[in-house]
Structure 1
Amino acid sequence: MRVVIVGAGLGGLACAIACRREGIDVVVLERSPEVREVGAGIQIPPNGGRIMRDLGVLPQLLDQGSQVQQVDFRRYKDGHLLRSMPFGDDITREYDAPWIADYYRVLLDEAIRLGANIRFGVEVEHVLTDGPEAILAGGERVSGNIVVGADGIGSLVRHSVLNDTVSLVETGDLAYRATFQKEQLEALGDDKVNDLCQRVGVTSWLGPDKHTIFYPVRGGKEFNLVLLRPDNLTQGSRREKGDIQEMRESYAGWDETLQKIISCVPSIDKWKLTHLPELPSWTKNTVTLLGDACHPTLPYQAQGAAMAVEDGAIIGKLLGLLQARYRKLERDPSLSDNEPTPETLISLLKLYEQIRKAPTTRSVQAAIMNRKLFHLQDGLLRSIRDFLLRYAGVTRKSDWTWLSSSRQRRSLGLDVLKDCSIAFEAWEASFF
C-alpha cells in the first residue's frame, strides 16, 4: 500500500512514522519550501508521550526536550501563587509517560530515517477522492491507496472531502506568541525572572478575559511565551503583524515579573483563534482527515498536537493490522489470496473516524470550558475558582478534589492504540 499525506506537521509526521514502521510506502507533500519548526515548543501531555514511546522516539524527546516538573497558576495582578501542581514522576507513574515539551524536529528526523519521502515546497491544488490523487501546481498527480489530509485548520483536503467550504468560527480570542533565548531573560537581572528560568515547569497567569503561558523548550535553552486576549484582528484575517506597544498595554497592571518578560519581546505576530463546527464526516472514499483539519481545538487544554499524533498513529496502526491480515492470507495456500479493495479501505477509514470522534470531541469541549474558567472576571466566581484550584491536580496523588484528575484521565489516561487493536478485531470479524 501507499499513503499520500498532505502536510508535514506533527500529525502528518506521526502518521508517516506509523505507516513506515508497518512497511507501508509514504509520500508527504508539504508546501513550505524548507524545514520549519512547525509546532516547536508545543507541550506533549502523557497521552501524546505514549504515542511517542510506541513510535520509538521517546528517548530522543527526553534527551532533547524538557520534562515538565510542575504547572504553576498565578494571579494576574501580583503573581500570587494560586496553585503549584506537581507533575514530574507523579505524572509518569500514573499515566505511564512523562509530560514534556518540544518535538517537531525529532519526528521529522525519524520519518526521514524510516524512509518516508518528504517533499518540501510542493503546492497541492486539488485532491481527487476517486483514485485517490493529489494534483500539484504544474499538473503532477501523486496517487496512492489513501490520501490523508494533515494540512491544518485551513485544510484544502477538507474541501474535497466535504464538497463544500466549511466556515471557520471565530472564538473571540487571539494569541501572541514569542520565543526567548535564556540569555535574554537572564540579562534582565531580575531575581523572579531568573527563578522562573531555573524551573522546568509551566507558569500561567490567569486574569479577566486573558491568560498567559510561559515554559521552557530546547532543554531549557529557550522559553516560549503565549499571551491570549480578546480578538481585535480584522474579520477574516487569521494572522497579522502585532504591535508591540499594543501588546504591552494589553497587560498593563499585570504582575511585574510578567511585564519584565514581555519587555524582551522585539517583535510579535497575532493569531486569530478559530475552530470548526463539528463535521458530518472526516472521510470520503479513501481520503480522510486528521488533527486540526477535522477537530481543531483552542489552546487551553494542551491537547491539540497530542490529538493529531494520536490520529496519525491510529491510521498507521489500522493499515498495519490490515496489511498483516493479507500477509497471513498470502502465507496460507488454503486461504484466498487477496489484496485490500477500495471498499475495504473506505470501511477501515470509517472505523478510524468512529474510534476518534468521541475522544476528540471531549477534548475540544474541555478546552472551551477551560477558556471560561481561565478568563473569569474579578468577583465571586473567580474567588470560588481560585479556592477550588488550591486543591486540584492532574494525578490522584495531587488532586484533593478527585474531580480534576478524574476529568484529566479521560484524555491523558487513554491507551488509544490498544483500543484501536480491539476495535479492529471487532471490525475484522464483522466485515470479512
Structure 2
Amino acid sequence: MEIIIVGAGLGGLTCAIACRRFIPDAHVTVLERAPEAREVGAGIQIPPNGTAVLKQLDLLSRVLERGSVVRHVDFRRYADGRILRSMPFGEDVVEEFGVPWVIIHRQDFHQVLLDEAGRLGVEIRLNAEVTDVVFDAPEVILASGERVAGDVIVGADGLHSRIRDIVLDKPTRPQETGDLAYRATIKRTELEALNDPAIHELCAQTSVTSWLGPDKHSIFYPVRNGEEFNLVLLRPDNLDTGVRRVQGDVEEMTESYTGWDERLTKLISCVSAVTKWKLTHLPQLETWTRGPVALLGDACHPTLPYQAQGAAMAVEDGFALGKLLGLLHTSLQAVSTDEPTISPQSPLHEYILRILEVYEGIRRPRTTRTVQAAVGNRRVFHVPDGVGQVIRDFVLGYAGVTWKSDWTYGLFSGRMKRMLRHDLAGDCEREFKGVVKSLLID
C-alpha cells in the first residue's frame, strides 16, 4: 500500500507512524512544503485521550522524557489571584483514565514523532509543496511539476489547507473568531531574578495556572523540565483583517492586563519577545473525504484553544486512519483463514473508499462535540464581572476532572470522562467489522 501524507505536523506524523505500525510493508511518504520539518509555538497540553494514543504507539515513555505530568490545575480570579478551584490531576487522572495529563514544549513533542517516523522508515520529503491532486490516478502534483502516486492521500496540511480546497473543489478560508493569543516563553533564570516568593511558588509546581477575567484569560505552566515556562494570554482581537500572526508588542500586552493579579503582571514583565496569533475557525465542512483523499486535524476541524484538545484530536485522527487501513491490510492478508475477510478479488481502490467513509463517520461526531465544547469554554472563561461571574466561580469551586475530585456529583467529571476516556481502537475495530460484512454481501 502506498500512502501519501501532505503535512509533517503532529497529526500527519502520527498518521505516518500508525500506518507503518499497522501496515509494516506499507510505503509511507510525508510531503512537507517547508524547508524543514518543525513546529511553531511553545507549550502544549496532551490530555489523557491524547496520551492514550501515544501509549498504544509505544511513544508515551519518550514523550514523558521531554514533558511533565500535570499535578494540578489552578483557576484564579483575574483581579486578586484568589484561587477559585485547585483541581487535583497527577495520580487521580492516571487512576481514572489509565494515562497522565502531560505538558510539553510543542517542538519537543514534534521531535519525538519525527524521530519515530524516521526510525520506522517513513520517507519525509521537504520543500515538497502540493499544488493539485489527480483523483483518478490517484496522485499529487508538486509545485516542481513532479507527480507522486499513491493508493491513499491524506491532507494533514493544517488550518490553511490546500488539500481541503481541492477536496471541496472550492476555496475555504478560516473565519476570524474575534480573539487573539499572545504566546511567549520565559526562562526560569529570568523568573528567579525577580526574587519574589509568590513567583517562586508558582514556578515550583508542575501545574497549569489559569487566570479568568472579563473577555480574557491567561495560562502559565512549565516546559522542558521547568527550565522554561509557557505563557499564553488570550484577549479580544485587534489585528487587521486577514493578518494571521505578527511579532507582538510587549508594551501593548502589558497594558492589556493592567489591573490583573500582581503575579501575572510580574510574569509579563519578564517577557522579552511575544508572538501575536489571530484565532480563527472553520464552519463545519460538508465532507472530509473525496475519492481516495481524506483530511485530518486542523485541515478539517480546527478548534479554539480553550480545551487543550486541538493536537489531541489531530493525533486521534492520525491513529484512527492508520488503524483502519491496518485492519484492511490484515483482512486482505488473511484470505487463507476461516475468518470472514474482504475478498481479494475486488479492487483495493474500492476498499479504501469505504475505509475513508468509515474514518469520517467515526471522527466527525467526536470532533464536532469537541469544537463546540471549546466554544462553550470560551464563554465560561470570559464571563464579565457580575451575577454570571459569581455563579461561574461558585460552580467552578466544586468541579473536578475526575470522579474523586468532582463535588458536583458527576456533572463536570461526567462530561470530561466522555472526552478524555475514549476507546478509539475499539471504535475502529467495531466499525470495520461492519464494513467487512457489507463488502462480503456486496
Match of 1:427 in 2: 435
After superposition, the CA RMSD in angstroms is 1.5
Provide the TM-score with structure 1 as the length reference: 0.97
Show the 5 A alignment for 1:399-414.
399-401=406-408, 402-414=410-422
Segments of structure 1 that go 5 or more residues without pairing to the other structure are none
Kept in 2, the 8 Å contact 1:326–1:339? The answer is no
Kept in 2, the 8 Å contact 1:5–1:150? The answer is yes
Question: Deviation of residue 52 (structure 1)?
Answer: 0.2
Match of 2:14 in 1: 14
Match of 1:319 in 2: 325
**1:236–1:115: structure 2 CA closer, same or farther, 3 Å change rule?**
same
Counterpart residue type for residue 430 of structure 1: S
Match of 1:260 in 2: 266
Selected match of 1:380 from 387, 402, 405: 387
Match of 1:51 in 2: 53
Matches of 1:121 and 1:197, distance apart in 2: 40
Show the 5 A alignment for 1:165-204.
165-204=171-210
Matches of 1:210 and 1:137, distance apart in 2: 42
Kept in 1, the 8 Å contact 2:85–2:397? The answer is yes
Q: Which structure 1 residue ranges, 4+ long, deviate > 4 Å from structure 2?
A: 334-337
Matches of 1:36 and 1:186, distance apart in 2: 30
Please say which of residues 239-248 and 29-38 is displaced more in the overlay. 29-38
Match of 2:275 in 1: 269
Matches of 2:74 and 2:43, distance apart in 1: 18
Show the 5 A alignment for 1:140-219.
140-219=146-225
The C-alpha deviation readout for 1:256-303, integer Å capped at 9, x for no partner, is: 111111111112221111110010000000001001100000000111
Matches of 1:339 and 1:20, distance apart in 2: 24
Question: Deviation of residue 32 (structure 1)?
Answer: 1.9
Are 1:348 and 2:355 matched, yes or no?
A: yes
Kept in 1, the 8 Å contact 2:42–2:185? The answer is no
Provide the TM-score with structure 2 as the length reference: 0.95
Question: Deviation of residue 239 (structure 1)?
Answer: 1.2
Please say which of residues 44-53 and 235-244 is displaced more in the overlay. 235-244
The C-alpha deviation readout for 1:23-68, integer Å capped at 9, x for no partner, is: 1211111122123234652110000010000011011112221100
The C-alpha deviation readout for 1:135-161, integer Å capped at 9, x for no partner, is: 112111112101101111100000010
**1:414–1:39: structure 2 CA closer, same or farther, 3 Å change rule?**
farther
Match of 1:101 in 2: 103
Are 1:363 and 2:376 matched, yes or no?
A: no
Selected match of 1:116 from 118, 122, 145: 122
Segments of structure 2 that go 5 or more residues without pairing to the other structure are none
Show the 5 A alignment for 1:241-320.
241-320=247-326
Kept in 1, the 8 Å contact 2:42–2:183? The answer is no
The C-alpha deviation readout for 1:68-88, integer Å capped at 9, x for no partner, is: 000000011111111100000
The C-alpha deviation readout for 1:388-430, integer Å capped at 9, x for no partner, is: 1110010000011011101111110111111111111112111
The alignment of Structure 1 onto Structure 2 pairs a total of residues equal to: 431
Q: Secondary structure at the match of 2:334?
A: helix
Kept in 2, the 8 Å contact 1:300–1:367? The answer is yes
Match of 1:90 in 2: 92
Matches of 1:48 and 1:339, distance apart in 2: 35
Question: Deviation of residue 122 (structure 1)?
Answer: 2.0
**1:326–1:319: structure 2 CA closer, same or farther, 3 Å change rule?**
same
Question: Deviation of residue 101 (structure 1)?
Answer: 1.7
Please say which of residues 130-139 and 397-406 is displaced more in the overlay. 130-139
Match of 1:230 in 2: 236
Matches of 1:405 and 1:147, distance apart in 2: 38
